A and B are shown apart, each in its own frame.
Chain A
Protein backbone atom coordinates (compact mmCIF):
# COMPACT_ATOMS: atom_id res chain seq x y z
CA UNK A 1 0.00 0.00 0.00
CA UNK A 2 1.46 3.32 -1.03
CA UNK A 3 1.93 6.13 1.46
CA UNK A 4 -0.55 8.28 -0.43
CA UNK A 5 -3.41 5.98 0.60
CA UNK A 6 -2.67 6.44 4.28
CA UNK A 7 -4.26 9.45 5.92
CA UNK A 8 -3.60 10.82 9.36
CA UNK A 9 -6.09 9.96 12.09
CA UNK A 10 -5.24 13.27 13.65
CA UNK A 11 -8.50 14.96 12.75
CA UNK A 12 -10.62 12.42 14.61
CA UNK A 13 -10.01 14.57 17.68
CA UNK A 14 -11.64 17.57 16.05
CA UNK A 15 -15.24 18.56 16.77
CA UNK A 16 -16.51 16.91 13.61
CA UNK A 17 -14.45 13.80 14.29
CA UNK A 18 -15.66 13.47 17.87
CA UNK A 19 -19.25 13.96 16.73
CA UNK A 20 -18.80 11.15 14.19
CA UNK A 21 -17.25 8.83 16.76
CA UNK A 22 -20.05 9.50 19.24
CA UNK A 23 -22.65 8.85 16.57
CA UNK A 24 -20.97 5.60 15.54
CA UNK A 25 -20.72 4.55 19.18
CA UNK A 26 -24.43 5.10 19.57
CA UNK A 27 -25.22 2.97 16.55
CA UNK A 28 -22.87 0.24 17.74
CA UNK A 29 -24.49 0.31 21.15
CA UNK A 30 -27.88 -0.12 19.50
CA UNK A 31 -26.43 -2.99 17.45
CA UNK A 32 -27.26 -1.24 14.19
CA UNK A 33 -23.75 -1.42 12.81
CA UNK A 34 -20.67 -3.53 13.46
CA UNK A 35 -17.49 -2.05 14.94
CA UNK A 36 -15.60 -3.10 11.82
CA UNK A 37 -17.89 -0.98 9.66
CA UNK A 38 -17.40 1.93 12.06
CA UNK A 39 -13.63 1.65 11.59
CA UNK A 40 -14.07 1.74 7.83
CA UNK A 41 -16.24 4.83 8.10
CA UNK A 42 -13.61 6.49 10.27
CA UNK A 43 -10.94 5.70 7.69
CA UNK A 44 -13.17 7.26 5.06
CA UNK A 45 -13.50 10.29 7.32
CA UNK A 46 -9.72 10.56 7.63
CA UNK A 47 -9.42 10.71 3.86
CA UNK A 48 -12.33 13.08 3.41
CA UNK A 49 -11.25 15.68 5.93
CA UNK A 50 -7.63 15.59 4.77
CA UNK A 51 -8.71 16.20 1.19
CA UNK A 52 -11.17 18.90 2.25
CA UNK A 53 -8.51 20.78 4.19
CA UNK A 54 -6.09 20.49 1.27
CA UNK A 55 -8.45 21.28 -1.60
CA UNK A 56 -11.45 23.20 -0.28
CA UNK A 57 -10.04 25.47 2.41
CA UNK A 58 -8.18 27.99 0.34
CA UNK A 59 -6.67 31.36 1.09
CA UNK A 60 -7.41 31.14 4.77
CA UNK A 61 -4.41 32.20 6.75
CA UNK A 62 -3.94 33.02 10.34
CA UNK A 63 -1.11 33.95 12.63
CA UNK A 64 -0.81 33.67 16.35
CA UNK A 65 1.56 34.50 19.16
CA UNK A 66 1.84 33.36 22.70
CA UNK A 67 3.94 32.02 25.48
CA UNK A 68 5.26 28.52 24.91
CA UNK A 69 4.59 26.51 28.04
CA UNK A 70 5.39 22.99 26.83
CA UNK A 71 6.89 21.51 23.69
CA UNK A 72 7.28 17.88 22.72
CA UNK A 73 8.55 16.11 19.62
CA UNK A 74 7.98 12.39 19.53
CA UNK A 75 7.30 9.97 16.67
CA UNK A 76 7.44 12.83 14.20
CA UNK A 77 4.63 14.66 16.01
CA UNK A 78 5.04 18.11 17.52
CA UNK A 79 2.89 18.98 20.52
CA UNK A 80 2.84 22.50 21.91
CA UNK A 81 0.95 24.04 24.77
CA UNK A 82 0.72 27.77 24.31
CA UNK A 83 -0.55 30.19 26.94
CA UNK A 84 -2.04 33.67 26.44
CA UNK A 85 -2.62 33.10 22.74
CA UNK A 86 -3.58 35.92 20.42
CA UNK A 87 -4.93 34.84 17.04
CA UNK A 88 -5.10 37.13 14.05
CA UNK A 89 -7.52 35.89 11.43
CA UNK A 90 -8.16 37.29 7.99
CA UNK A 91 -10.21 40.44 8.06
CA UNK A 92 -8.40 41.62 11.16
CA UNK A 93 -10.50 39.33 13.33
CA UNK A 94 -8.70 38.83 16.64
CA UNK A 95 -9.30 35.98 19.03
CA UNK A 96 -7.79 35.52 22.44
CA UNK A 97 -7.46 32.28 24.37
CA UNK A 98 -5.86 31.50 27.69
CA UNK A 99 -4.42 28.23 26.52
CA UNK A 100 -4.29 26.15 23.37
CA UNK A 101 -2.85 22.75 22.64
CA UNK A 102 -1.34 22.26 19.20
CA UNK A 103 -0.85 18.78 17.79
CA UNK A 104 0.90 18.77 14.45
CA UNK A 105 1.88 15.85 12.23
CA UNK A 106 4.56 16.06 9.59
CA UNK A 107 3.28 17.41 6.31
CA UNK A 108 5.41 14.74 4.66
CA UNK A 109 3.81 11.41 5.29
CA UNK A 110 5.96 8.39 6.16
CA UNK A 111 7.52 7.01 3.00
CA UNK A 112 7.21 10.20 1.02
CA UNK A 113 10.42 11.81 -0.25
Chain B
Protein backbone atom coordinates (compact mmCIF):
# COMPACT_ATOMS: atom_id res chain seq x y z
CA UNK B 1 0.00 0.00 0.00
CA UNK B 2 1.62 3.22 -1.10
CA UNK B 3 0.83 6.78 -0.28
CA UNK B 4 0.16 7.44 -3.97
CA UNK B 5 -2.95 5.30 -3.82
CA UNK B 6 -4.11 7.40 -0.90
CA UNK B 7 -3.52 10.58 -2.90
CA UNK B 8 -5.65 9.34 -5.77
CA UNK B 9 -8.39 8.18 -3.43
CA UNK B 10 -8.45 11.48 -1.54
CA UNK B 11 -8.58 13.43 -4.78
CA UNK B 12 -11.51 11.33 -5.98
CA UNK B 13 -13.30 11.80 -2.66
CA UNK B 14 -12.84 15.56 -2.77
CA UNK B 15 -14.11 15.78 -6.34
CA UNK B 16 -17.07 13.53 -5.58
CA UNK B 17 -18.05 15.55 -2.52
CA UNK B 18 -17.73 18.87 -4.34
CA UNK B 19 -19.70 17.67 -7.34
CA UNK B 20 -22.40 16.06 -5.20
CA UNK B 21 -22.72 19.17 -3.04
CA UNK B 22 -23.24 21.48 -5.99
CA UNK B 23 -27.00 21.03 -6.00
CA UNK B 24 -27.24 21.53 -2.24
CA UNK B 25 -25.18 24.70 -2.57
CA UNK B 26 -27.40 26.05 -5.31
CA UNK B 27 -30.48 25.36 -3.19
CA UNK B 28 -28.86 27.23 -0.31
CA UNK B 29 -27.92 30.19 -2.50
CA UNK B 30 -24.20 29.50 -2.39
CA UNK B 31 -22.41 30.21 -5.64
CA UNK B 32 -19.76 28.21 -7.45
CA UNK B 33 -17.01 30.52 -6.22
CA UNK B 34 -17.56 29.55 -2.61
CA UNK B 35 -17.66 25.88 -3.53
CA UNK B 36 -14.33 26.24 -5.29
CA UNK B 37 -12.97 28.06 -2.28
CA UNK B 38 -14.04 25.14 -0.09
CA UNK B 39 -12.25 22.73 -2.40
CA UNK B 40 -9.10 24.84 -2.35
CA UNK B 41 -9.12 25.18 1.42
CA UNK B 42 -9.69 21.45 1.79
CA UNK B 43 -6.87 20.48 -0.55
CA UNK B 44 -4.61 23.10 0.92
CA UNK B 45 -5.08 21.79 4.44
CA UNK B 46 -4.32 18.25 3.34
CA UNK B 47 -1.24 19.35 1.43
CA UNK B 48 0.06 21.47 4.28
CA UNK B 49 -0.45 18.71 6.81
CA UNK B 50 1.73 16.50 4.64
CA UNK B 51 -0.30 13.37 5.27
CA UNK B 52 -0.65 12.71 1.56
CA UNK B 53 0.76 13.82 -1.75
CA UNK B 54 -1.83 14.66 -4.34
CA UNK B 55 -1.10 13.39 -7.83
CA UNK B 56 -1.62 16.91 -9.18
CA UNK B 57 1.28 18.13 -7.07
CA UNK B 58 3.60 15.59 -8.58
CA UNK B 59 2.33 15.74 -12.14
CA UNK B 60 2.42 19.54 -12.15
CA UNK B 61 6.17 19.46 -11.70
CA UNK B 62 6.96 17.68 -14.94
CA UNK B 63 4.91 19.47 -17.64
CA UNK B 64 5.09 22.90 -16.05
CA UNK B 65 8.83 23.05 -15.68
CA UNK B 66 9.38 23.21 -19.40
CA UNK B 67 6.70 25.64 -20.41
CA UNK B 68 5.17 28.11 -17.99
CA UNK B 69 8.31 28.52 -15.93
CA UNK B 70 10.62 29.16 -18.85
CA UNK B 71 12.00 32.20 -17.07
CA UNK B 72 13.22 30.08 -14.18
CA UNK B 73 15.67 27.25 -14.33
CA UNK B 74 14.14 23.81 -14.44
CA UNK B 75 15.87 22.71 -11.28
CA UNK B 76 14.57 25.64 -9.31
CA UNK B 77 11.03 25.19 -10.58
CA UNK B 78 11.06 21.48 -9.82
CA UNK B 79 12.21 22.12 -6.30
CA UNK B 80 9.48 24.71 -5.95
CA UNK B 81 6.83 22.24 -7.04
CA UNK B 82 8.02 19.55 -4.71
CA UNK B 83 8.14 22.08 -1.91
CA UNK B 84 4.39 21.67 -1.81
CA UNK B 85 4.56 17.91 -1.39
CA UNK B 86 5.75 15.75 1.40
CA UNK B 87 8.82 14.50 -0.49
CA UNK B 88 11.05 17.43 0.43
CA UNK B 89 10.03 17.56 4.04
CA UNK B 90 12.49 14.82 4.78
CA UNK B 91 15.23 16.83 3.09
CA UNK B 92 14.63 19.97 5.10
CA UNK B 93 12.51 19.07 8.07
CA UNK B 94 13.46 22.17 9.98
CA UNK B 95 12.44 24.55 7.25
CA UNK B 96 9.03 23.27 6.31
CA UNK B 97 7.34 23.68 9.68
CA UNK B 98 8.54 27.27 9.89
CA UNK B 99 7.42 27.91 6.35
CA UNK B 100 4.11 26.30 7.04
CA UNK B 101 3.67 28.42 10.13
CA UNK B 102 4.53 31.61 8.26
CA UNK B 103 2.31 30.64 5.38
CA UNK B 104 -0.66 29.92 7.57
CA UNK B 105 0.04 33.05 9.55
CA UNK B 106 0.10 35.23 6.49
CA UNK B 107 -2.66 33.45 4.60
CA UNK B 108 -5.60 34.98 6.48
CA UNK B 109 -4.00 38.40 6.29
CA UNK B 110 -3.56 38.08 2.55
CA UNK B 111 -7.19 37.05 2.22
CA UNK B 112 -8.20 40.06 4.30
CA UNK B 113 -6.15 42.39 2.12
CA UNK B 114 -7.70 40.88 -0.95
CA UNK B 115 -11.19 41.30 0.43
CA UNK B 116 -10.38 44.86 1.41
CA UNK B 117 -9.41 45.61 -2.16
CA UNK B 118 -12.66 44.13 -3.41
CA UNK B 119 -10.90 41.25 -5.06
CA UNK B 120 -13.01 38.16 -5.61
CA UNK B 121 -12.52 35.33 -3.17
CA UNK B 122 -10.91 33.02 -5.68
CA UNK B 123 -8.12 35.52 -6.25
CA UNK B 124 -7.54 35.77 -2.54
CA UNK B 125 -7.38 32.02 -2.43
CA UNK B 126 -4.85 31.90 -5.20
CA UNK B 127 -2.91 34.66 -3.52
CA UNK B 128 -2.82 32.50 -0.43
CA UNK B 129 -1.43 29.63 -2.44
CA UNK B 130 1.14 31.95 -3.98
CA UNK B 131 2.11 33.09 -0.50
CA UNK B 132 2.59 29.54 0.61
CA UNK B 133 4.82 28.83 -2.35
CA UNK B 134 6.61 32.09 -1.66
CA UNK B 135 7.43 31.14 1.90
CA UNK B 136 8.64 27.72 0.89
CA UNK B 137 10.76 29.28 -1.85
CA UNK B 138 12.49 31.55 0.61
CA UNK B 139 12.95 28.75 3.04
CA UNK B 140 14.10 26.09 0.64
CA UNK B 141 16.29 27.84 -1.89
CA UNK B 142 17.42 30.80 0.19
CA UNK B 143 16.52 33.28 -2.51
CA UNK B 144 16.48 36.90 -1.53
CA UNK B 145 13.02 38.32 -1.59
CA UNK B 146 14.23 41.09 -3.84
CA UNK B 147 15.45 38.56 -6.35
CA UNK B 148 13.71 39.06 -9.63
CA UNK B 149 13.60 35.34 -10.09
CA UNK B 150 11.37 35.06 -7.06
CA UNK B 151 9.11 37.83 -8.23
CA UNK B 152 8.90 36.31 -11.68
CA UNK B 153 7.71 33.06 -10.26
CA UNK B 154 4.94 34.58 -8.26
CA UNK B 155 4.03 37.03 -10.93
CA UNK B 156 3.07 34.06 -13.05
CA UNK B 157 -0.34 33.34 -11.67
CA UNK B 158 -0.88 30.36 -13.91
CA UNK B 159 2.01 28.61 -12.16
CA UNK B 160 0.33 29.10 -8.82
CA UNK B 161 -2.98 27.76 -9.98
CA UNK B 162 -1.51 24.76 -11.74
CA UNK B 163 0.20 23.54 -8.59
CA UNK B 164 -3.12 23.45 -6.85
CA UNK B 165 -4.96 21.62 -9.57
CA UNK B 166 -6.83 22.74 -12.63
CA UNK B 167 -8.97 25.80 -12.33
CA UNK B 168 -8.70 27.30 -15.75
CA UNK B 169 -12.16 28.78 -15.74
CA UNK B 170 -11.23 31.47 -13.20
CA UNK B 171 -9.59 34.67 -14.45
CA UNK B 172 -6.97 36.20 -12.23
CA UNK B 173 -5.59 39.70 -12.51
CA UNK B 174 -1.83 39.52 -12.49
CA UNK B 175 -1.47 43.07 -11.31
CA UNK B 176 -3.61 42.47 -8.24
CA UNK B 177 -1.74 39.30 -7.35
CA UNK B 178 1.61 41.00 -7.87
CA UNK B 179 0.57 43.81 -5.57
CA UNK B 180 -0.56 41.45 -2.85
CA UNK B 181 2.52 39.31 -3.06
CA UNK B 182 4.87 42.29 -3.08
CA UNK B 183 3.33 43.34 0.18
CA UNK B 184 3.91 39.89 1.57
CA UNK B 185 7.52 39.83 0.39
CA UNK B 186 8.14 43.19 2.01
CA UNK B 187 6.66 41.96 5.24
CA UNK B 188 8.81 38.88 5.08
CA UNK B 189 11.90 40.98 4.48
CA UNK B 190 11.39 43.79 6.91
CA UNK B 191 9.31 42.07 9.55
CA UNK B 192 6.13 43.15 11.23
CA UNK B 193 7.23 46.81 11.41
CA UNK B 194 6.65 47.10 7.68
CA UNK B 195 3.02 46.40 8.26
CA UNK B 196 2.57 49.96 9.55
CA UNK B 197 3.30 51.28 6.08
CA UNK B 198 0.66 49.11 4.49
CA UNK B 199 -2.88 50.19 3.94
CA UNK B 200 -4.99 50.28 7.06
CA UNK B 201 -6.17 46.91 8.19
CA UNK B 202 -9.56 46.41 9.80
CA UNK B 203 -9.62 45.65 13.48
CA UNK B 204 -10.81 42.13 12.78
CA UNK B 205 -7.48 41.24 11.21
CA UNK B 206 -5.38 41.22 14.38
CA UNK B 207 -7.89 38.87 15.89
CA UNK B 208 -7.73 36.66 12.81
CA UNK B 209 -3.95 36.79 12.84
CA UNK B 210 -3.94 35.76 16.45
CA UNK B 211 -6.24 32.90 15.57
CA UNK B 212 -4.00 31.94 12.64
CA UNK B 213 -1.07 32.10 15.01
CA UNK B 214 -2.87 29.71 17.31
CA UNK B 215 -3.58 27.36 14.44
CA UNK B 216 -0.10 27.69 12.96
CA UNK B 217 1.77 27.22 16.19
CA UNK B 218 3.81 24.06 16.43
CA UNK B 219 1.96 21.00 17.59
CA UNK B 220 4.38 20.65 20.47
CA UNK B 221 3.53 24.16 21.60
CA UNK B 222 -0.14 23.34 21.44
CA UNK B 223 0.44 20.20 23.40
CA UNK B 224 2.42 22.06 26.03
CA UNK B 225 -0.24 24.76 26.23
CA UNK B 226 -2.97 22.18 26.46
CA UNK B 227 -1.07 20.27 29.06
CA UNK B 228 -0.50 23.38 31.16
CA UNK B 229 -4.16 24.34 30.86
CA UNK B 230 -5.20 20.81 31.63
CA UNK B 231 -2.98 20.71 34.67
CA UNK B 232 -4.65 23.83 35.97
CA UNK B 233 -8.08 22.33 35.31
CA UNK B 234 -7.08 18.99 36.69
CA UNK B 235 -5.94 20.63 39.90
CA UNK B 236 -9.27 22.32 40.21
CA UNK B 237 -11.47 19.36 39.40
CA UNK B 238 -9.65 16.13 40.05
CA UNK B 239 -9.00 14.78 43.45
CA UNK B 240 -6.01 12.95 44.87
CA UNK B 241 -7.98 9.74 44.69
CA UNK B 242 -7.92 9.71 40.87
CA UNK B 243 -6.05 6.91 39.20
CA UNK B 244 -2.89 8.34 37.61
CA UNK B 245 -3.41 6.04 34.62
CA UNK B 246 -6.70 7.79 33.90
CA UNK B 247 -4.86 11.11 33.66
CA UNK B 248 -2.47 9.63 31.12
CA UNK B 249 -5.33 8.35 29.00
CA UNK B 250 -7.24 11.61 29.22
CA UNK B 251 -4.22 13.57 28.05
CA UNK B 252 -3.77 11.05 25.29
CA UNK B 253 -7.35 11.62 24.13
CA UNK B 254 -6.78 15.35 23.94
CA UNK B 255 -3.71 14.85 21.78
CA UNK B 256 -5.72 12.56 19.55
CA UNK B 257 -5.05 14.50 16.40
CA UNK B 258 -1.34 13.95 16.48
CA UNK B 259 -1.37 10.33 17.65
CA UNK B 260 -1.71 7.31 15.46
CA UNK B 261 -5.30 6.37 14.79
CA UNK B 262 -7.10 3.73 12.79
CA UNK B 263 -10.72 4.22 11.77
CA UNK B 264 -12.30 1.14 10.26
CA UNK B 265 -15.04 -1.49 10.38
CA UNK B 266 -14.68 -4.75 12.25
CA UNK B 267 -15.64 -8.11 10.80
CA UNK B 268 -14.75 -10.26 13.76
CA UNK B 269 -13.19 -9.82 17.17
CA UNK B 270 -12.19 -12.94 19.07
CA UNK B 271 -10.28 -13.65 22.22
CA UNK B 272 -8.57 -16.78 23.50
CA UNK B 273 -7.23 -16.25 26.98
CA UNK B 274 -5.25 -13.05 26.62
CA UNK B 275 -4.71 -13.17 22.85
CA UNK B 276 -7.09 -11.03 20.83
CA UNK B 277 -7.50 -11.49 17.10
CA UNK B 278 -9.39 -8.97 15.02
CA UNK B 279 -10.43 -8.75 11.40
CA UNK B 280 -10.93 -5.21 10.14
CA UNK B 281 -11.87 -3.78 6.77
CA UNK B 282 -12.34 -0.49 4.91
CA UNK B 283 -10.04 1.48 7.14
CA UNK B 284 -8.03 4.69 7.21
CA UNK B 285 -4.83 4.69 9.22
CA UNK B 286 -2.89 7.74 10.32
CA UNK B 287 0.54 6.78 11.66
CA UNK B 288 3.81 8.69 11.86
CA UNK B 289 2.16 11.65 10.16
CA UNK B 290 1.16 9.72 7.04
CA UNK B 291 -2.20 8.36 5.96
CA UNK B 292 -2.82 4.87 4.65
CA UNK B 293 -5.97 3.16 3.43
CA UNK B 294 -6.66 -0.56 3.51
CA UNK B 295 -9.30 -2.99 2.35
CA UNK B 296 -8.66 -5.62 4.99
CA UNK B 297 -6.46 -5.78 8.06
CA UNK B 298 -5.68 -8.42 10.62
CA UNK B 299 -4.63 -7.54 14.12
CA UNK B 300 -3.24 -9.73 16.87
CA UNK B 301 -2.79 -8.30 20.30
CA UNK B 302 -1.68 -9.60 23.63
CA UNK B 303 -3.42 -8.18 26.64
Task: Enumerate chain A interface residues (CB-CB to B < 8 A).
Answer: 8, 10-11, 13-16, 18-20, 22-24, 26-27, 32-34, 36-37, 40-41, 44-45, 47-50, 52-54, 56-68, 70-71, 73, 78, 80-82, 85, 87, 89-91, 93, 95, 97, 99-107
A16-B10, A37-B24 known; A100-B262 Cβ under 8 A = yes
Residues of B within 8 A of A (CB): 1-2, 5, 9-10, 12-14, 16-17, 20-21, 24-25, 28, 30, 34, 37-38, 41-42, 45-46, 49, 51-52, 121, 249, 252, 256-257, 259-267, 269, 276, 278, 280-288, 291-303
Using A37-B30, A85-B260, A99-B259 as known contacts, say yes or no to A15 and B291 having CB atoms under 8 A apart. Answer: yes
Residues of A within 8 A of B264 (CB): 102-105
Report the 3 A-B pairs with minimum CB-CB distance, sorted nearest first. A68-B301, A23-B41, A19-B45
Cα(A93)–Cα(B287), bound, Å? 13
Complex formed: what's the CA distance from A41 to B252 in Å?
A: 30
Chain A residues with Cβ below 8 Å from B281 are 107
Is the beta-carbon distance between B49 and A64 smaller than 8 angstroms?
A: no
**Which one of A16, A73, A105 has the greatest number of beta carbons of chain B within 10 Å?**
A16
Which of A14, A67, A68, A85 contacts B284, CB < 8 Å? A14
- Choice from A14, A33, A66, A71 contacting B291 with Cβ under 8 Å: A14
Contact A20 B37 (CB under 8 A): no
Residue numbers in A under 8 Å from B46 (CB-CB): 15-16, 19
> What chain A residues lie within 8 Å of B292 (beta carbons)?
62, 89
Residue on B with the closest CB to A100?
B260
Closest-CB distance, A86 to chain B (whole angstroms): 10
Provide the residues of chain A in CB contact with B294, threshold 8 Å.
57, 60-62
A41 touches B21 (CB 8 A): yes
B296 near A61 (CB under 8 angstroms)?
A: yes
- Taken together as a complex, chains A and B put the C-alpha atoms of A26 and B125 apart, in Å, by 13
A60 & B287 in contact (Cβ 8 Å cutoff): no
A33–B262 touching, CB < 8 Å: no
**CB pairs A–B below 8 angstroms (6 shown):** A27-B37, A32-B121, A60-B295, A97-B260, A100-B260, A104-B278
Knowing A14-B291, A32-B30, A33-B30 touch, does A104 contact B298 (C-beta < 8 A)?
no
Judge whether B21 and A100 touch: CB under 8 Å.
no
- Residues on B with C-beta less than 8 A from A95 are 287-288
A80 and B9 alpha carbons, distance in the complex (Å): 26
Q: Is A65's CB under 8 angstroms from B299's CB?
A: yes
User: CA separation between A35 and B62, bound complex, in Å?
Assistant: 40
Task: Apart from A57-B295, A66-B301, A87-B285, list 5 A-B contacts with CB within 8 A.
Answer: A32-B34, A41-B24, A54-B282, A95-B288, A104-B266
B1 proximity list for chain A (CB < 8 A) = 60-62, 89-91, 93
A100–B12 CB distance below 8 A: no
| C-alpha spacing A13/B262, complex, angstroms | 10
Please tell me if the beta carbons of B276 and A71 are within 8 angstroms of each other in the complex.
yes
Chain A minimum-CB-distance residue to B282: A53
Distance (Å) between the CB of A94 and the closest chain B CB? 12
Contact residues in B for A68 (Cβ distance below 8 Å) = 276, 301-303
> Is the CB–CB distance between A78 and B282 below 8 Å?
no
Q: Which residues of B contact A61 (CB under 8 A)?
A: 1, 294-298
